[in-house]
């Protein structure tokens, strides 16, 4: 199983699509010609999709902020913070502190960085780790690695 699609309400589909294409690295899939909706592929093989719904659409009228995570490899995650910061996108850890160092949530375990899109939605780049779980650990990746 895997997540096939998720949808976000956005203020401007053109601006949001540009962010997700250029900053996040998604791939254009389709723009609905009759509605203000843009669909983007997440990852390879067209296995996952993100829908961006403009303010005149059913989902676009919902002002609630959303969250979703995109899985990366650990090397990709370690590069992502620096790349996002170079592009003017602030990154933070699990506690919300601005940093480029990933957090680790030990019960999974996984390493992650958080950032926001132009509409304030919370995005997460996450790298599942092959280490044994430790439910008591939440902290920086550097501290997680010291446990080994």
Residue with tokens 């989902």: 59
Note whether 53 and 30 are within 8 A (CB): no
Under CATH, to which class is 1-63 assigned?
alpha beta
pLDDT higher than 80, residue 2: no
pLDDT higher than 70, residue 1: no
pLDDT higher than 70, residue 60: yes
Q: What is the pTM of this model?
A: 0.88
Mean pLDDT calculated for residue range 91-107: 95
Q: What pLDDT shows up at residue 50? A: 96
**Mean pLDDT, the chain, integer:** 93
61-96: pLDDT as tens digits:
877 889 999 999 999 999 999 999 999 999 999 999
Q: Name the band, by pLDDT with cuts 50, 70 and 90, for residue 58.
A: confident
Q: What pLDDT shows up at residue 51? A: 95
CATH architecture of 65-148: Roll (3.10)
pLDDT higher than 70, residue 18: yes
Helix (H) or strand (E) holding 86: helix 74-86
Q: Say how many C-beta atoms besides its own lie within 10 A of residue 31's C-beta.
A: 15
**Angle value at C-alpha 125, between 6 and 58, nearest 5 degrees:** 20
Eight-class DSSP state of 61: G
Mean pLDDT calculated for residue range 117-137: 94
Backbone angles phi, psi at 17, to 5 degrees: -60, -40
Q: Say how many C-beta atoms besides its own lie within 10 A of residue 77's C-beta.
A: 19
Delimit the CATH 3.10.180.10 region(s) of the chain: 1-63, 65-148
Say whether 9 sits in a helix, a strand or coil.
strand
Note whether 74 and 82 are within 8 A (CB): no
Q: What pLDDT shows up at residue 44? A: 82
């Amino acid at each position: 199983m895997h997540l096939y699609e998720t949808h976000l309400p956005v203020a401007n589909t053109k601006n949001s699509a540009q962010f997700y294409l250029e900053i996040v690295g998604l791939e254009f899939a389709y723009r609905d010609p009759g509605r203000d909706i843009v669909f983007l592929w997440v990852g390879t093989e067209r296995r996952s999709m993100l829908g961006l719904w403009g303010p005149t659409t059913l989902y676009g009228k919902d002002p609630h902020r959303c969250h979703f995570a995109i899985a990366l490899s650990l090397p990709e995650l370690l590069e992502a913070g620096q790349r996002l910061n170079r592009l003017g996108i602030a990154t933070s850890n699990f506690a919300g502190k601005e940093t480029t160092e990933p957090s680790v949530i030990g019960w999974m375990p996984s390493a992650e960085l958080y950032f926001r899109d132009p509409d304030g939605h919370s995005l997460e780049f996450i790298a599942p780790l092959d280490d044994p779980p430790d439910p008591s650990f939440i902290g920086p990746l550097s501290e997680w690695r010291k446990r080994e």
